[in-house]
């Protein structure tokens, strides 16, 4: 099975003397080319789910499969490498490095795997061109608008050709017009490159761009539409 699969995942945390379930028996399948959204109030478990899907947290129970590999059985060193090569993260803020220009923001991710190849440089330039940043390759983050910085972050998430794209409130710091533009661009890259993508969002105006919408409440996930 390709894509992302969560099977009966529970995540428990200790609070004082009691155990609290942040996720309760959650199951989810996201196939390549799917762009799904998860909505719900703060504290409902959305970020915990995203962290488990991104191999940042291990489930207390259940399985997490990425392209058929059970990441719950990996050791920490394997997980670090896996996160670098198989997961692309897009966060609330672009988290760009101030002293790197736009192209080098992407190439740094490639360098973390080893030597940067000409193929990776070409892909980085193609991604930036596709996102309307072809004329900004040598610009630094302080020379970009908020929307442009977030588009660089989108390109960075795709540059390692990761199978899974996880977006955590990617429009939180943007005005409406830029927010719509950013989510449309995420969707386009997901479809064009056949990636499995999950977006956590509070902004229900963005849901029209998603294939399916799930709601998270009290650690439980249900399909809305």
Q: Domains of the chain: which residue ranges?
A: 4-223
Using alpha carbons only, give the angle 58, 82, 59 rounded to the nearest 5 degrees: 10
Dump pLDDT digits (tens) for 72-115: 888 888 888 888 888 999 887 778 999 999 999 999 988 887 88
> At what angle are helices 118-130 and 146-158 packed, to 10 degrees?
140
What's the N-to-C CA distance of the chain in angstroms?
Answer: 23
Dihedral-angle region of residue 138 (phi above 0 means left; psi in -120 to 50 means alpha; beta otherwise): alpha
Give the pLDDT of residue 1. Answer: 60
Give the pLDDT of residue 130. Answer: 86
Each of the 225 residues of the chain gets a pLDDT tens digit; together they read: 679 999 999 999 888 888 888 999 999 999 999 999 999 988 888 989 999 999 888 899 999 999 888 888 888 888 888 888 889 998 877 789 999 999 999 999 888 878 888 999 999 999 999 888 999 999 999 999 988 998 899 899 988 888 899 999 888 877 888 888 889 989 998 999 999 999 999 888 899 999 999 999 999 999 997
Q: Does domain 4-223 have CATH number 3.40.50.300?
A: yes
Give the pLDDT of residue 61. Answer: 93
- The β-bridge partners of 67 are none
Q: How many CA atoms lie within 13 A of 213 on its CB side?
A: 15
Instruction: Count the residues in the chain.
Output: 225
pTM for the model stands at 0.90
Give the pLDDT of residue 160. Answer: 85
């Amino acid at each position: 099975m390709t894509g992302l699969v969560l099977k009966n995942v529970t995540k428990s945390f200790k609070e004082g003397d009691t155990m609290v379930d942040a996720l309760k028996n959650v199951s989810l399948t996201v196939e390549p080319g799917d762009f799904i959204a998860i909505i719900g109030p703060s504290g409902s478990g959305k970020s915990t789910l995203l962290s488990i899907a991104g191999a940042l947290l291990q489930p207390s129970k259940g399985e997490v499969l990425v392209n058929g590999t059970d990441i719950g059985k990996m050791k920490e060193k394997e997980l670090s490498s896996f996160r670098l090569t198989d997961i692309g993260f897009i966060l609330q803020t672009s988290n760009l490095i101030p002293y790197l220009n736009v192209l080098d923001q992407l190439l740094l991710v490639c360098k973390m795997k080893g030597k940067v190849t000409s193929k990776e440089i070409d892909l980085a330039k193609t991604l930036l061109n596709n996102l309307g940043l072809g004329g900004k390759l040598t610009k630094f983050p302080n020379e970009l608008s908020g929307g442009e910085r977030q588009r660089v972050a989108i390109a960075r998430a795709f540059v390692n050709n990761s199978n899974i794209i996880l977006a955590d409130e990617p429009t939180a710091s943007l005005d409406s017009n830029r927010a719509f533009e950013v989510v449309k661009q995420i969707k386009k890259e997901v479809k064009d490159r056949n990636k499995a993508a999950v977006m956590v969002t509070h902004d229900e105006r963005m849901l029209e761009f998603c294939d399916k919408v799930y709601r998270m409440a009290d650690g439980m996930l249900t399909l809305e539409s």
